[in-house]
Amino acid sequence: MLESVRNNKRVAQIILALLIVPFAFFGLDSYFQDGPGGTDVATVGKSKISTAEFDQALREQQDRLRESMGGEVDRALLDSEPIRRSVVENLVNQRLLALHAADSRLIVTPQQLQQVIAGVDAFQQDGRFSIERYEAAVRAQGMTPAMFESRLAQDLRMQQVAQAVGDSAFASRESIRRFLTAQLEERKVSELQFPANRFVGEVKLADDAAKQYYDANGERFERPARLRAEYVVFNQDAVLGQVSVSDEAARKFYDANAERFSQPEERSARHILISAAADASADAVAKANEKAAGILKQLRADPKRFAELAKAESQDPGSASRGGDLGFFGRGAMVKPFEDAVFGLGKGQISEVVRSDFGFHIIEVTDIKPAHARPFDEVKGEIVEELKRQEASKKFAEQAEVFSNTVYEQSDSLKPVAEALKLQIRTTDWIERVGGAVGDYTNEKLLNALFSDEAMTKQRNVEAVEVSRGTLVSARVVEHQAAQRTPFEQVKGAIEQQLKTEQAAKLATERGEAALASLQKGESVSGEWSVARSVQRAKPELPQAAISAVFGASSTKLPAYVGAPMQGGGYSVFRIESVNRIDIAKDDPRLKALEGQYQRLVAERDFNAFLTSLRGRYAVNINTAVVRPPQQ
């Protein structure tokens, strides 16, 4: 390299000159914008959605689903294509909005961020924002406050668009009124019924009709294969009884993790803020400083007026109304100059004017909780519990292998594994492939394994299956019965009954339709019409097909006749006698009630249309291989 530079000086100089230009004007960033490659789940415009991002989003979605369904959910279901697809679509939509927000230069101001965080219920204690709770809650999610804040800022930027496009959507009142008028329209109808059972007597079945049906629909008379199995369950609970923790071990843990059991120093303070942003003009800064100095002078004269002055003068919206009180906080919670001032003062002392990025503060320390350690006896129980669980989890990991190996190596019985690990062998009742359960477990993989030819005929142990996190199950077929067809004689009666009902329904429809045709030609039809009653679209007292027929009929010429199939295989003809369209006043309360729903409907449509339009601006490519669930 150096050799060639020497030999080709001019070329090298030109190259160097070219390199300097971007460094000088654009910094190093322009060289590193494209990260390392790898398989991506999708590309949106020029940005990529990585597999790691997808995996995390998928995991979060699965956790949510598991929580909402309660307890054990089949993994195959949680990993199914529709769920994977919805997670990808969601990520793509988020990315589209983020790109759009960036290109449109949408921003979130620090004040906005601060106000939003202060307003979250989960971060509040006794009705006010608590910095400790905030940090604890954020860390519980596996994030630092900085990470959380940047995520939140991203969300808020997207929300700006969602609010303008979605939340502010409105529907025409006339549109809503039109829909409501239709829903409340009343039609008075009387009904002429043709119930199926009236025609059962007329049905003549051919002698071999049942047999033919049986032969043609053989699979309907089959009882699927079924089996009884015995099984063993191995989980952490199974080993928890085998571990114990000594007092010395607990003591050692306590000593080694002293900082976990100690509470660092905390102070409570109140402050008065005169805002002056970091980039404010010199003039504004001087003015703010002067004002702060004035307030400080008043306080020096009469320190008791702190709360009153904070209420009147402080420009920190979060604390002003509480007399400037910020509650207790530890180190690292506040901006540096503020923290230095607070931790440099004694209790009851008032600081000089302190400058931070927010402006000028006057601070009083109201209380100090010194650092202290929790005594060993108080935390011993906690420690023993934790160590026990750690030990059990270690033991479980070791023995899980023993479990898997034993059921595999001594595959003609579950006894060896049960004895080795002190497990109980349980048996199932008869179970079928579809809808079957091994004890509490409905795991697909386990059932598939049991119903394999190998497991059924050779009665071998099936391989250990992890039915849920930390729970292994192995099972073995005790006896099985192959799929069987029920003999014709046993089902003949039922088939005949069914065929008769079907034919009767057909007859009912034929007669009903014939009657309807005559009525529509103006001829009269014999039969017993019901007493006329009022029906509404919104109150479906009739089956959907009938409602649709009655309200779909033109009302220009009354009476009008329509027909519809009814439940139970019958048919009904309806005579529409009168139509009553209610005139809805502009201030009808029912309009107001419907408005919210109608608005949500159009809001969703509009927002989705906007997202679709973004897909036109940023090319979206989804890696379909990722959407398909992985093969097990």
Nearer to another protein, 48 or 157 (CB): 157
Nearer to another protein, 50 or 112 (CB): 112
Distances (CA, A) of 522 to 210, 395, 517, 559, 577: 42, 87, 9, 10, 14
Nearest distance, CB of residue 359 and another protein, angstroms: 16
Cβ-contact 445, 632 below 8 angstroms: yes
Distances (CA, A) of 374 to 153, 380, 387: 38, 10, 18
Stretch that binds another protein, among 50-58, 350-358, 518-526, 598-606 (CB under 8 A): 598-606
Nearer to another protein, 455 or 614 (CB): 614
Nearer to another protein, 153 or 499 (CB): 153
Could you give the CA distance from residue 306 to residue 602 in angstroms, rounded to a whole number?
A: 52
Instruction: Write each residue from 484 to 513 as x if it is in contact with another protein (CB under 8 A), else as -, in one continuous string.
Output: ------------------------------
Using the rule CB under 8 A, is 55 a contact of another protein?
no
Stretch that binds another protein, among 108-116, 128-136, 374-382, 394-402 (CB under 8 A): 108-116
Nearest distance, CB of residue 153 and another protein, angstroms: 11
Using the rule CB under 8 A, is 183 a contact of another protein?
yes
Cβ-contact 94, 620 below 8 angstroms: no
SS3 401: helix
Angle, to 10 degrees, between the axis of helix 589-617 and the axis of helix 81-103? 80
DSSP state letter for 165: I
Using the rule CB under 8 A, is 355 a contact of another protein?
no
Nearest distance, CB of residue 369 and another protein, angstroms: 35
Nearest distance, CB of residue 107 and another protein, angstroms: 4
Q: Which of 30, 104, 246, 405 binds another protein (CB under 8 A)?
A: 104
Instruction: Write each residue from 512 to 551 as x if it is in contact with another protein (CB under 8 A), else as -, in one continuous string.
Output: -------------------------x-------------x
Instruction: Write each residue from 330 to 349 as x if it is in contact with another protein (CB under 8 A), else as -, in one continuous string.
Output: --------------------
Cβ-contact 230, 474 below 8 angstroms: no
Distances (CA, A) of 264 to 253, 343, 577: 19, 12, 83
Q: Which of 73, 77, 118, 171 binds another protein (CB under 8 A)?
A: 171
Among residue numbers 24 through 43, which ones bind another protein (CB under 8 A)?
A: 25-26
DSSP state letter for 198: G
Could you give the CA distance from residue 516 to residue 273 in angstroms, rounded to a whole number?
A: 83
Among residue numbers 552 through 581, which ones bind another protein (CB under 8 A)?
A: 552, 554-556, 581
Stretch that binds another protein, among 133-141, 159-167, 429-437, 479-487 (CB under 8 A): 159-167
Q: Which two tokens stand for residue 386?
A: 């934790």
Stretch that binds another protein, among 295-303, 433-441, 464-472, 600-608 (CB under 8 A): 600-608
Using the rule CB under 8 A, is 614 a contact of another protein?
yes
Q: Which residues does residue 234 pair with via DSSP β-bridges, in sequence order?
A: 472
Q: Which of 40, 114, 179, 240 binds another protein (CB under 8 A)?
A: 179
Cβ-contact 73, 65 below 8 angstroms: yes
Nearest distance, CB of residue 168 and another protein, angstroms: 3
Q: Which two tokens stand for residue 367?
A: 């209380």
Q: Which of 67, 167, 215, 401 binds another protein (CB under 8 A)?
A: 167
Nearest distance, CB of residue 367 and another protein, angstroms: 33
Nearer to another protein, 417 or 611 (CB): 611
Q: Which of 150, 181, 442, 623 binds another protein (CB under 8 A)?
A: 181
Nearer to another protein, 246 or 612 (CB): 612
Q: Which two tokens stand for residue 565?
A: 């199939």
Using the rule CB under 8 A, is 8 a contact of another protein?
no
Amino acid sitting at position 631: Q
Cβ-contact 452, 190 below 8 angstroms: no
Using the rule CB under 8 A, is 174 a contact of another protein?
yes
Phi and psi of 404, rounded to 5°?
-60, -45
DSSP characters for 53-110? HHHHHHHHHHHHHHHHH-S---HHHHTSHHHHHHHHHHHHHHHHHHHHHHHTT----H
Stretch that binds another protein, among 21-29, 247-255, 419-427, 489-497 (CB under 8 A): 21-29
Nearer to another protein, 97 or 309 (CB): 97
Could you give the CA distance from residue 574 to residue 550 in angstroms, rounded to a whole number?
A: 7
Nearer to another protein, 173 or 251 (CB): 173
Using the rule CB under 8 A, is 109 a contact of another protein?
yes
Could you give the CA distance from residue 550 to residue 575 in angstroms, rounded to a whole number?
A: 9
Nearer to another protein, 10 or 304 (CB): 10
Could you give the CA distance from residue 134 to residue 121 in angstroms, rounded to a whole number?
A: 10
Using the rule CB under 8 A, is 606 a contact of another protein?
yes
Using the rule CB under 8 A, is 622 a contact of another protein?
no
DSSP state letter for 567: G
Which residue's structure tokens are 């004017």?
353
Could you give the CA distance from residue 96 to residue 162 in angstroms, rounded to a whole number?
A: 12
Question: Which residues have CB under 8 Å from 624's CB, separation 6+?
Answer: none
Q: Which of 69, 76, 107, 514 binds another protein (CB under 8 A)?
A: 107
Handedness of CA 104, 109, 110, 116 (dihedral sign): negative
Nearest distance, CB of residue 160 and another protein, angstroms: 6
Nearer to another protein, 184 or 420 (CB): 184
Using the rule CB under 8 A, is 23 a contact of another protein?
no
Using the rule CB under 8 A, is 90 a contact of another protein?
no
Cβ-contact 250, 387 below 8 angstroms: yes
Q: Alpha carbon 112 to chain centroid distance? A: 26
Strands (E), 500-626: 533-536, 560-565, 571-580, 620-622
Burial of 343 (C-beta count, 10 Å sphere; 0-12/13-18/19+)? middle
Nearest distance, CB of residue 348 and another protein, angstroms: 37
What residues make contact with another protein under the rule CB under 8 A?
9-10, 21, 25-26, 104-109, 111-112, 160-161, 163-165, 167-175, 178-179, 181-183, 185, 537, 551-552, 554-556, 581, 598, 601-602, 604-606, 608-610, 612-614, 616
